[in-house]
Structure 1
Amino acid sequence: MKAKLGISPIAWWNDDLPELSDDVSLEECLRQSRSAGFTGIEKGRRFPDDPTVMSSILKMVNVALCGGWFSGTLVNEDIATNKHRIQPMIDLFKAVNAPCIVYGEVGHSIQSDRSRPLATKPVLSDADMKAYARRMTEFGEWCAGQGMPLSYHHHMAAVVQFEHELDTFMKCSGEGIPLLFDAGHLAFAGGDVLRVIDNHHKRINHVHVKDIRGPVIKALDWRTQSFLDAVALGAFTVPGDGSLDFGAIVQKLAGYGYEGWFVVEAEQDPRKNPPLRMAEMGYAELMRVTTKAGYVVEAPTFPWR
């Protein structure tokens, strides 16, 4: 089995909490991630949108674009609106041979609003969840038809957060909308990470290896503290520095034949947790657990070769 190891630039620059951002350039972020060992990086806010410029920057450090977040609004806006907004991203990702676009639902979400406690997250009725899942499937099929598959990101503070919400979404949606498995978000929400892999492995096409600090999450007051409060307090970290057993998680994925990207995504304070040091720690742990699970870690096929 083959695996590729990537990282998100969110450790260097946080889109929702600017105070949790290291003052480094895009080029330095890429250099540090590559020096830690990663051969892929997801798109962040400081990346160019021009395919030629993007290819040139990635080529300088021999790093592939291994994904990137799209703020979707299908829960409260129509498909046509989302098609219009995602089309430039599809064109860019196809040009640089990225594997997928990460779909994150921000409609009704409280993930970027620090004034909204965790307990006030949006909840869809069964009928609304079914209708939403059908729209997501149609949208995912359209994106795949354009040459760029999506990967649906279940996420804290969004409409699909809890394990039972994910189960319902997966039951009511189709193969046209694959799943991004994120152990950190699922564990934060109290879900069983291994059971979710058992239940939904056939649809998983992308993996975020986000770890959690269990004591931080356990101490949160969901009635008064927000998702961003949790991030600022250090709820998330890289594999090898938190509470999750990534050896068991990766072994479970390997048992179902998952091949593809394992992407470290761990937003935290770069002053307390220097991004390069954390990237090196995450890479070392990922290499340990993927190798033990029988994976051969390889570099991606770069579009400039």
Structure 2
Amino acid sequence: MSVRLGINPLTWTNDDLPSLGGDTPLETCLTEGRQAGFSGFELGQKFPRTPDALNQVLSDHDLSLVSGWYSSQLLERSVEEEIEAVESHLQLLKQCGSKVMVFCEVSHCVHGDQMRPVSQRPHLQDVDWPRLTEGLDRVGAYLKEHGVQMVYHHHLGTVIESQADVERLMDNTSDAVGLLLDFGHLVVAGGDPLALAQRYASRIHHIHCKDVRFDVLKETRNRDKSFLDGVLDGLFAVTGDGDIDFLPALTHLKNEGYEGWLVVEAEQDPSVAHSLTQARLGHKGLKQVAERAGFQVTD
């Protein structure tokens, strides 16, 4: 099985906390990402949002488009409104060659609020679950008709955070709803990446290899901190620079036929964690663990 290694621009500039790398130009992100060895990027706010312009800037750096985040509000608007809202993003991904859309329900989320701890994240009541799962099925089917697979991103501070949340979501949706396995978000939420990999291998179409520093995690939990304060404290790390053991889940997914992207995604303060140094470290760590899991890494 072959995989490609991509990176998220969070290593250079943070969309949720613009003070981190706010002055870093896109040109720097792309140049250094390619120098570090990555063959693709996920989107961030500094990227062009028209297919021609995005294709050109990526081509100039010999890079591919991995995917791009989409903020869903299915708990607050109709499926028809959601499909209308997602259309331009869908066309951008499709026309720029991406096969997956990172999809996350952000209604009532707290991860972007530095004053609210992750413990105050929203929880779905039983009556709300059908609205979300049925809506995801319908939007996922629409995306699939256009050749793009929805990959749901379980995310700290949102309605789908814990392993139990992910399992309930997967068990009540169709294959139109794929899963993005994010190691870091799952581990911080107390989940087990191997258990999800074993249960939903056929539904996992995208992987974020976000690493976590367990000593910072302990402090974040003990002091009931916000997601963004955790970022500032150094909670997240590039692959191999934290304490997560990626090998068991990645080996299982390789044996189950996973092909696609493995992505380094690490929210860090670039004034503390030098971006190019971190990108190179993340590429080295991710390539090593991918090859140990049995994957063939291609450019």
Q: TM-score, normalised by structure 1?
A: 0.94
Partners of 2:224 and 2:24 in 1: how far apart? 33
- Counterpart in the other structure of 1:43: 43
How far off is 1:223 after superposition?
7.0
**Equivalent pair of 2:72/2:104 in contact (CA under 8 Å):** yes
How far off is 1:22 after superposition?
5.6
**Equivalent pair of 2:39/2:63 in contact (CA under 8 Å):** yes
- Counterpart in the other structure of 1:196: 196
- Counterpart in the other structure of 1:4: 4
Partners of 2:19 and 2:87 in 1: how far apart? 31
How far off is 1:265 after superposition?
0.6
Partners of 2:131 and 2:93 in 1: how far apart? 28
Q: Which runs of 5+ in 1 are unaligned?
A: 300-305
Partners of 1:51 and 1:266 in 2: how far apart? 26
Does the residue aligned with 2:111 lie in a helix, a strand or coil? coil
Partners of 1:41 and 1:203 in 2: how far apart? 22
- Counterpart in the other structure of 1:88: 88
What percentage of residue pairs aligned between the two structures are identical?
37
Matched, 1:58 2:58: yes
Cα deviations by residue, 1:268-302 (Å, 9 ceiling, x for unpaired): 11111111111111111111111222211112xxx
**Matches of residues 169-208 of structure 1 in structure 2 within 5 Å?**
169-208=169-208
**Equivalent pair of 2:74/2:131 in contact (CA under 8 Å):** no
**Equivalent pair of 1:117/1:223 in contact (CA under 8 Å):** no
**Matches of residues 288-299 of structure 1 in structure 2 within 5 Å?**
288-299=288-299
Cα deviations by residue, 1:162-186 (Å, 9 ceiling, x for unpaired): 1111111111111111000001000
Partners of 1:249 and 1:36 in 2: how far apart? 25
Q: Which runs of 5+ in 2 are unaligned?
A: none
Partners of 1:243 and 1:221 in 2: how far apart? 16
Query: Partner amino acid for 1:166?
Result: V
How far off is 1:222 after superposition?
6.6
Query: Partner amino acid for 1:127?
Result: V
Equivalent pairs, count: 299
Partners of 1:112 and 1:15 in 2: how far apart? 9
Partners of 1:228 and 1:211 in 2: how far apart? 16
**Matches of residues 62-77 of structure 1 in structure 2 within 5 Å?**
62-77=62-77
CA RMSD of aligned residues (A): 1.3
Matched, 1:156 2:156: yes
